[in-house]
Protein backbone atom coordinates (compact mmCIF):
# COMPACT_ATOMS: atom_id res chain seq x y z
CA UNK A 1 0.00 0.00 0.00
CA UNK A 2 1.34 3.35 -0.89
CA UNK A 3 1.73 5.74 1.98
CA UNK A 4 -0.68 8.58 2.13
CA UNK A 5 0.22 11.17 -0.38
CA UNK A 6 -0.26 14.47 1.27
CA UNK A 7 -2.22 16.04 -1.49
CA UNK A 8 -4.40 18.90 -0.54
CA UNK A 9 -5.96 18.47 -3.96
CA UNK A 10 -6.99 14.94 -3.11
CA UNK A 11 -8.40 16.00 0.18
CA UNK A 12 -10.23 18.80 -1.46
CA UNK A 13 -11.61 16.46 -4.06
CA UNK A 14 -12.73 14.06 -1.39
CA UNK A 15 -14.50 16.84 0.36
CA UNK A 16 -16.04 18.10 -2.83
CA UNK A 17 -17.08 14.62 -3.80
CA UNK A 18 -18.62 13.94 -0.44
CA UNK A 19 -20.40 17.24 -0.41
CA UNK A 20 -21.71 16.57 -3.86
CA UNK A 21 -22.72 13.11 -2.80
CA UNK A 22 -24.57 14.43 0.16
CA UNK A 23 -26.20 17.10 -1.90
CA UNK A 24 -27.28 14.58 -4.49
CA UNK A 25 -28.32 11.73 -2.27
CA UNK A 26 -29.56 13.38 0.85
CA UNK A 27 -30.94 16.75 -0.11
CA UNK A 28 -32.22 16.66 -3.65
CA UNK A 29 -35.60 15.22 -4.32
CA UNK A 30 -34.22 12.68 -6.74
CA UNK A 31 -31.95 11.39 -4.02
CA UNK A 32 -34.85 10.96 -1.70
CA UNK A 33 -36.55 8.96 -4.38
CA UNK A 34 -33.50 6.73 -4.76
CA UNK A 35 -33.14 6.20 -1.05
CA UNK A 36 -36.83 5.67 -0.69
CA UNK A 37 -36.77 3.16 -3.50
CA UNK A 38 -34.09 1.10 -1.84
CA UNK A 39 -35.90 1.07 1.44
CA UNK A 40 -39.15 0.26 -0.31
CA UNK A 41 -37.51 -2.67 -2.05
CA UNK A 42 -36.22 -3.96 1.26
CA UNK A 43 -39.43 -3.35 3.11
CA UNK A 44 -41.40 -4.92 0.30
CA UNK A 45 -39.86 -8.31 0.90
CA UNK A 46 -42.98 -9.35 2.73
CA UNK A 47 -44.97 -9.16 -0.49
CA UNK A 48 -42.87 -11.79 -2.19
CA UNK A 49 -42.93 -13.85 0.97
CA UNK A 50 -46.69 -13.69 1.11
CA UNK A 51 -46.86 -14.53 -2.58
CA UNK A 52 -45.34 -17.93 -2.07
CA UNK A 53 -41.71 -17.73 -1.05
CA UNK A 54 -40.99 -20.78 1.02
CA UNK A 55 -40.24 -20.50 4.69
CA UNK A 56 -36.75 -21.89 4.19
CA UNK A 57 -36.06 -19.41 1.42
CA UNK A 58 -37.24 -16.58 3.64
CA UNK A 59 -35.09 -17.86 6.49
CA UNK A 60 -32.10 -17.93 4.17
CA UNK A 61 -32.78 -14.35 3.14
CA UNK A 62 -33.05 -13.37 6.79
CA UNK A 63 -29.67 -14.97 7.51
CA UNK A 64 -28.07 -13.08 4.63
CA UNK A 65 -29.64 -9.83 5.76
CA UNK A 66 -28.49 -10.34 9.31
CA UNK A 67 -24.94 -11.01 8.19
CA UNK A 68 -25.11 -7.75 6.26
CA UNK A 69 -26.52 -5.95 9.29
CA UNK A 70 -23.66 -7.25 11.41
CA UNK A 71 -21.13 -5.95 8.91
CA UNK A 72 -22.92 -2.61 8.62
CA UNK A 73 -22.94 -2.22 12.40
CA UNK A 74 -19.23 -2.87 12.39
CA UNK A 75 -18.73 -0.24 9.71
CA UNK A 76 -20.66 2.31 11.75
CA UNK A 77 -18.47 1.53 14.75
CA UNK A 78 -15.30 1.65 12.68
CA UNK A 79 -16.10 5.09 11.31
CA UNK A 80 -16.82 6.19 14.87
CA UNK A 81 -13.36 5.07 15.88
CA UNK A 82 -11.93 7.00 12.97
CA UNK A 83 -13.97 10.08 13.74
CA UNK A 84 -12.86 10.05 17.36
CA UNK A 85 -9.24 9.29 16.57
CA UNK A 86 -8.23 12.92 16.34
CA UNK A 87 -6.25 11.99 13.24
CA UNK A 88 -8.63 13.28 10.61
CA UNK A 89 -8.63 16.74 9.17
CA UNK A 90 -11.91 18.56 9.42
CA UNK A 91 -12.56 17.99 5.73
CA UNK A 92 -11.91 14.26 5.89
CA UNK A 93 -13.83 14.01 9.13
CA UNK A 94 -16.90 15.39 7.44
CA UNK A 95 -16.58 12.75 4.75
CA UNK A 96 -16.17 9.99 7.32
CA UNK A 97 -19.23 11.13 9.20
CA UNK A 98 -21.22 11.26 5.96
CA UNK A 99 -20.15 7.71 5.06
CA UNK A 100 -21.00 6.54 8.55
CA UNK A 101 -24.43 8.03 8.07
CA UNK A 102 -24.87 5.97 4.92
CA UNK A 103 -24.04 2.81 6.82
CA UNK A 104 -26.57 3.74 9.47
CA UNK A 105 -29.15 4.10 6.73
CA UNK A 106 -28.18 0.69 5.40
CA UNK A 107 -28.75 -0.78 8.86
CA UNK A 108 -32.15 0.81 9.12
CA UNK A 109 -33.24 -0.47 5.73
CA UNK A 110 -31.89 -3.96 6.32
CA UNK A 111 -33.54 -4.17 9.73
CA UNK A 112 -36.82 -3.20 8.13
CA UNK A 113 -36.39 -6.01 5.60
CA UNK A 114 -35.66 -8.59 8.27
CA UNK A 115 -38.74 -7.58 10.19
CA UNK A 116 -40.87 -7.65 7.05
CA UNK A 117 -39.86 -11.28 6.61
CA UNK A 118 -40.85 -12.07 10.17
CA UNK A 119 -37.31 -12.29 11.43
CA UNK A 120 -35.38 -10.65 14.21
CA UNK A 121 -32.39 -8.50 13.43
CA UNK A 122 -28.99 -8.97 15.01
CA UNK A 123 -27.87 -6.31 17.44
CA UNK A 124 -24.55 -4.51 17.28
CA UNK A 125 -21.79 -6.01 19.36
CA UNK A 126 -21.14 -4.48 22.74
CA UNK A 127 -17.54 -4.05 21.72
CA UNK A 128 -15.60 -4.31 18.48
CA UNK A 129 -11.99 -5.29 18.11
CA UNK A 130 -10.35 -2.76 15.88
CA UNK A 131 -6.62 -2.37 15.31
CA UNK A 132 -6.59 1.00 16.99
CA UNK A 133 -2.96 0.60 17.99
CA UNK A 134 -2.13 0.83 14.31
CA UNK A 135 -3.93 4.10 13.71
CA UNK A 136 -1.07 6.54 13.77
CA UNK A 137 -2.01 8.98 11.08
CA UNK A 138 -4.85 9.93 8.81
CA UNK A 139 -3.77 7.54 6.06
CA UNK A 140 -4.04 4.63 8.50
CA UNK A 141 -7.64 5.48 9.17
CA UNK A 142 -8.38 5.88 5.48
CA UNK A 143 -6.73 2.57 4.66
CA UNK A 144 -8.66 0.84 7.39
CA UNK A 145 -11.91 2.22 6.11
CA UNK A 146 -11.02 1.41 2.51
CA UNK A 147 -10.40 -2.22 3.40
CA UNK A 148 -13.78 -2.49 5.06
CA UNK A 149 -15.55 -0.86 2.14
CA UNK A 150 -13.82 -3.05 -0.41
CA UNK A 151 -14.76 -6.13 1.58
CA UNK A 152 -18.33 -4.93 1.78
CA UNK A 153 -18.48 -4.63 -1.99
CA UNK A 154 -17.51 -8.29 -2.29
CA UNK A 155 -19.91 -9.34 0.44
CA UNK A 156 -22.87 -7.75 -1.30
CA UNK A 157 -21.70 -8.99 -4.70
CA UNK A 158 -21.63 -12.50 -3.28
CA UNK A 159 -24.97 -12.18 -1.55
CA UNK A 160 -26.98 -10.75 -4.43
CA UNK A 161 -27.19 -13.99 -6.43
CA UNK A 162 -28.20 -15.94 -3.34
CA UNK A 163 -31.21 -13.90 -2.30
CA UNK A 164 -34.42 -15.75 -3.04
CA UNK A 165 -36.30 -12.46 -3.11
CA UNK A 166 -35.36 -10.43 -6.17
CA UNK A 167 -36.38 -7.19 -4.49
CA UNK A 168 -33.82 -7.86 -1.81
CA UNK A 169 -31.19 -8.55 -4.44
CA UNK A 170 -31.99 -5.24 -6.09
CA UNK A 171 -31.79 -3.36 -2.83
CA UNK A 172 -28.51 -5.05 -1.97
CA UNK A 173 -27.18 -3.91 -5.33
CA UNK A 174 -28.05 -0.33 -4.47
CA UNK A 175 -26.14 -0.67 -1.20
CA UNK A 176 -23.21 -2.26 -3.04
CA UNK A 177 -23.07 0.76 -5.31
CA UNK A 178 -22.87 3.04 -2.30
CA UNK A 179 -20.08 0.99 -0.72
CA UNK A 180 -18.18 1.04 -4.00
CA UNK A 181 -18.41 4.82 -4.14
CA UNK A 182 -17.07 5.01 -0.60
CA UNK A 183 -14.19 2.76 -1.55
CA UNK A 184 -13.33 4.81 -4.62
CA UNK A 185 -13.35 8.08 -2.69
CA UNK A 186 -11.16 6.61 0.05
CA UNK A 187 -8.71 5.22 -2.50
CA UNK A 188 -8.48 8.58 -4.17
CA UNK A 189 -7.81 10.23 -0.83
CA UNK A 190 -4.95 7.78 -0.37
CA UNK A 191 -3.46 8.77 -3.69
CA UNK A 192 -4.48 5.50 -5.32
CA UNK A 193 -6.36 4.93 -8.53
CA UNK A 194 -9.93 5.26 -7.34
CA UNK A 195 -11.22 2.72 -9.85
CA UNK A 196 -8.41 0.22 -10.39
CA UNK A 197 -10.24 -2.16 -12.64
CA UNK A 198 -13.31 -2.93 -14.68
CA UNK A 199 -14.50 -5.95 -12.72
CA UNK A 200 -14.60 -6.82 -9.04
CA UNK A 201 -16.07 -9.67 -7.16
CA UNK B 1 -4.83 -6.93 13.35
CA UNK B 2 -3.85 -4.26 10.95
CA UNK B 3 -3.26 -6.65 8.10
CA UNK B 4 -6.62 -5.76 6.65
CA UNK B 5 -4.86 -2.94 4.81
CA UNK B 6 -2.67 -5.43 3.19
CA UNK B 7 -5.61 -7.17 1.67
CA UNK B 8 -6.97 -3.91 0.42
CA UNK B 9 -3.62 -3.19 -1.15
CA UNK B 10 -3.91 -6.28 -3.30
CA UNK B 11 -7.13 -5.23 -4.86
CA UNK B 12 -5.65 -4.40 -8.19
CA UNK B 13 -5.16 -8.07 -8.84
CA UNK B 14 -8.38 -9.39 -7.47
CA UNK B 15 -10.16 -9.40 -10.79
CA UNK B 16 -10.82 -12.87 -12.09
CA UNK B 17 -8.25 -13.18 -14.80
CA UNK B 18 -5.40 -12.26 -12.53
CA UNK B 19 -6.08 -14.91 -9.94
CA UNK B 20 -7.57 -17.56 -12.17
CA UNK B 21 -4.09 -18.69 -13.04
CA UNK B 22 -3.41 -19.70 -9.48
CA UNK B 23 -4.45 -23.27 -10.12
CA UNK B 24 -1.39 -24.03 -12.18
CA UNK B 25 1.20 -22.44 -9.95
CA UNK B 26 3.12 -23.83 -7.03
CA UNK B 27 1.88 -23.57 -3.48
CA UNK B 28 3.84 -20.43 -2.72
CA UNK B 29 2.47 -18.66 -5.75
CA UNK B 30 -1.00 -19.91 -5.01
CA UNK B 31 -0.73 -18.67 -1.46
CA UNK B 32 0.38 -15.23 -2.56
CA UNK B 33 -2.50 -15.02 -4.96
CA UNK B 34 -4.79 -16.38 -2.31
CA UNK B 35 -3.99 -13.41 -0.12
CA UNK B 36 -5.30 -11.21 -2.91
CA UNK B 37 -8.43 -13.29 -3.19
CA UNK B 38 -8.86 -12.90 0.56
CA UNK B 39 -9.61 -9.21 0.02
CA UNK B 40 -13.05 -10.40 -0.98
CA UNK B 41 -13.52 -11.85 2.47
CA UNK B 42 -12.48 -8.68 4.30
CA UNK B 43 -16.01 -7.39 4.58
CA UNK B 44 -16.74 -10.03 7.18
CA UNK B 45 -13.51 -11.82 8.11
CA UNK B 46 -10.09 -11.09 9.50
CA UNK B 47 -7.38 -13.60 10.33
CA UNK B 48 -7.11 -12.81 14.01
CA UNK B 49 -10.46 -11.45 15.19
CA UNK B 50 -14.08 -12.33 15.02
CA UNK B 51 -16.22 -9.97 12.99
CA UNK B 52 -19.43 -10.67 11.06
CA UNK B 53 -17.62 -13.92 10.32
CA UNK B 54 -15.28 -15.92 12.53
CA UNK B 55 -11.52 -15.46 12.65
CA UNK B 56 -9.39 -17.60 10.35
CA UNK B 57 -6.23 -18.14 12.37
CA UNK B 58 -5.95 -21.85 13.04
CA UNK B 59 -8.66 -22.68 10.54
CA UNK B 60 -7.04 -25.76 9.02
CA UNK B 61 -7.80 -28.75 11.19
CA UNK B 62 -10.46 -26.94 13.18
CA UNK B 63 -13.91 -28.39 13.74
CA UNK B 64 -16.59 -26.21 12.21
CA UNK B 65 -18.54 -23.90 14.46
CA UNK B 66 -16.04 -23.91 17.31
CA UNK B 67 -14.33 -20.53 17.40
CA UNK B 68 -14.79 -19.20 20.89
CA UNK B 69 -16.84 -16.06 21.15
CA UNK B 70 -18.41 -16.28 17.70
CA UNK B 71 -22.14 -16.71 17.26
CA UNK B 72 -22.59 -19.35 14.58
CA UNK B 73 -25.70 -20.42 12.76
CA UNK B 74 -27.31 -23.55 14.09
CA UNK B 75 -26.42 -25.24 10.81
CA UNK B 76 -22.71 -24.55 11.22
CA UNK B 77 -22.75 -25.59 14.85
CA UNK B 78 -24.24 -28.92 13.83
CA UNK B 79 -22.19 -29.45 10.67
CA UNK B 80 -19.31 -31.34 12.30
CA UNK B 81 -16.95 -30.59 9.46
CA UNK B 82 -13.22 -30.63 9.98
CA UNK B 83 -11.77 -27.90 7.82
CA UNK B 84 -9.11 -29.14 5.47
CA UNK B 85 -8.21 -28.40 1.87
CA UNK B 86 -10.99 -30.58 0.54
CA UNK B 87 -13.78 -29.42 2.81
CA UNK B 88 -12.79 -25.78 2.49
CA UNK B 89 -12.73 -26.07 -1.28
CA UNK B 90 -16.22 -27.55 -1.27
CA UNK B 91 -17.55 -24.95 1.12
CA UNK B 92 -16.03 -22.03 -0.74
CA UNK B 93 -17.46 -23.28 -4.01
CA UNK B 94 -21.01 -23.35 -2.70
CA UNK B 95 -21.37 -22.26 0.93
CA UNK B 96 -25.13 -22.52 1.16
CA UNK B 97 -25.16 -25.80 -0.72
CA UNK B 98 -22.42 -27.39 1.39
CA UNK B 99 -23.84 -26.16 4.69
CA UNK B 100 -27.50 -25.32 4.16
CA UNK B 101 -28.49 -22.76 6.71
CA UNK B 102 -25.07 -21.16 7.02
CA UNK B 103 -24.97 -17.44 7.69
CA UNK B 104 -22.34 -17.13 4.98
CA UNK B 105 -24.94 -16.44 2.36
CA UNK B 106 -22.80 -15.80 -0.66
CA UNK B 107 -22.67 -17.42 -4.05
CA UNK B 108 -19.24 -18.92 -3.58
CA UNK B 109 -16.11 -18.91 -5.71
CA UNK B 110 -16.69 -20.77 -8.93
CA UNK B 111 -13.12 -20.67 -10.17
CA UNK B 112 -11.20 -23.68 -8.88
CA UNK B 113 -7.87 -21.90 -9.20
CA UNK B 114 -9.05 -19.03 -7.03
CA UNK B 115 -10.34 -21.44 -4.42
CA UNK B 116 -7.09 -23.35 -4.43
CA UNK B 117 -5.15 -20.12 -3.99
CA UNK B 118 -7.39 -18.95 -1.19
CA UNK B 119 -7.21 -22.27 0.65
CA UNK B 120 -3.43 -22.29 0.24
CA UNK B 121 -3.25 -18.89 1.85
CA UNK B 122 -5.69 -19.78 4.62
CA UNK B 123 -3.50 -22.79 5.39
CA UNK B 124 -0.66 -20.43 6.26
CA UNK B 125 -2.69 -18.90 9.08
CA UNK B 126 -1.37 -21.23 11.70
CA UNK B 127 -1.21 -20.09 15.28
CA UNK B 128 2.17 -18.51 15.80
CA UNK B 129 2.52 -17.35 12.21
CA UNK B 130 3.05 -13.68 11.40
CA UNK B 131 -0.65 -12.86 11.17
CA UNK B 132 -1.65 -15.17 13.98
CA UNK B 133 0.16 -14.47 17.22
CA UNK B 134 -0.49 -16.88 20.07
CA UNK B 135 -3.09 -14.48 21.43
CA UNK B 136 -5.15 -15.05 18.30
CA UNK B 137 -5.85 -18.64 19.29
CA UNK B 138 -9.59 -19.25 19.33
Residue B79 belongs to domain with CATH number: 1.10.760.10
Tens digit of each residue's pLDDT (9 = 90 or more) over B47-93: 999 999 999 999 999 999 999 999 999 999 999 999 999 999 999 99
- Asked if B62 reaches chain A (Cβ–Cβ under 8 Å), the answer is no
CA A160 to chain B, closest CA, distance in angstroms equals: 8
Q: Do B4 and A131 touch (CB under 8 A)?
A: yes
Average pLDDT for B4-8: 37
Tell me, what's the pLDDT at A54?
A: 77
Tell me, what's the pLDDT at B134?
A: 80
- Portion of chain B with pLDDT greater than 70, in percent: 78
Tell me, what's the pLDDT at A39?
A: 57
Q: Do B14 and A60 touch (CB under 8 A)?
A: no
Collapse the DSSP code of B55 into the 3-class scheme (helix H, G, I; strand E, B; otherwise coil) and give the result. coil
Average pLDDT for B106-129: 95
- Asked if B103 reaches chain A (Cβ–Cβ under 8 Å), the answer is yes
Tell me, what's the pLDDT at B31?
A: 81
* Dihedral angle sign, alpha carbons of residues A127, A131, A136, A137: negative
Distance between CA atoms of residues B53 and B65, nearest Å: 11
Query: What's the mean pLDDT when you consider all of chain A?
Result: 82
Is B65 inside any structural domain? yes
Residue A158 and residue A68 in contact, taking contact as beta carbons nearer than 8 Å? no
Q: Domain of B33?
A: 4-133
Q: Which helix (H) or strand (E) holds A83?
A: helix A55-83
Collapse the DSSP code of A86 into the 3-class scheme (helix H, G, I; strand E, B; otherwise coil) and give the result. coil
Is B49 inside any structural domain? yes
Average pLDDT for A123-129: 93
Model confidence at A172, in pLDDT bands (50, 70, 90)? very high
Residue B9 and residue A1 in contact, taking contact as beta carbons nearer than 8 Å? yes
Is B138 inside any structural domain? no
Which residues sit opposite B63 in a β-bridge?
B82
State which fold the A8-189 domain adopts: Ferritin (1.20.1260)
Q: Which residues of A fall within a CB distance of 8 Å from B42? A: 147-148, 150-151, 154
CA B132, B134, B138: angle at the middle one, nearest 5?
A: 80
- Asked if B104 reaches chain A (Cβ–Cβ under 8 Å), the answer is yes
Average pLDDT for B20-39: 72
Write out the DSSP string of B59-103.
Answer: -TTPBTT--TT----HHHHHH--B--HHHHHHHHH-HHHHSTT-S
> Number of folded domains in chain B?
1
Is B47 inside any structural domain? yes
Average pLDDT for A156-177: 96
Model confidence at A18, in pLDDT bands (50, 70, 90)? very low
Q: Do B105 and A67 touch (CB under 8 A)?
A: yes
Amino acid sequence: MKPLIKQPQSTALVTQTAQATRRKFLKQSGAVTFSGLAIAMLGGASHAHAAGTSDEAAQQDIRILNTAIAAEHEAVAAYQVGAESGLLSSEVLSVAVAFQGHHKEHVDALVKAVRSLGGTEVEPLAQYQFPVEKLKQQSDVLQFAAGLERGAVSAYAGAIPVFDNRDLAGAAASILADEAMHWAVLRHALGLDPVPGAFFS
Amino acid sequence: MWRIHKYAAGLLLVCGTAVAEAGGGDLVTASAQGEQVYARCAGCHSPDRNRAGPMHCGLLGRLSGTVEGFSYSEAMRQAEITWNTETLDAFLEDPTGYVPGTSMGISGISDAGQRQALVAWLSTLTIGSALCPPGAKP
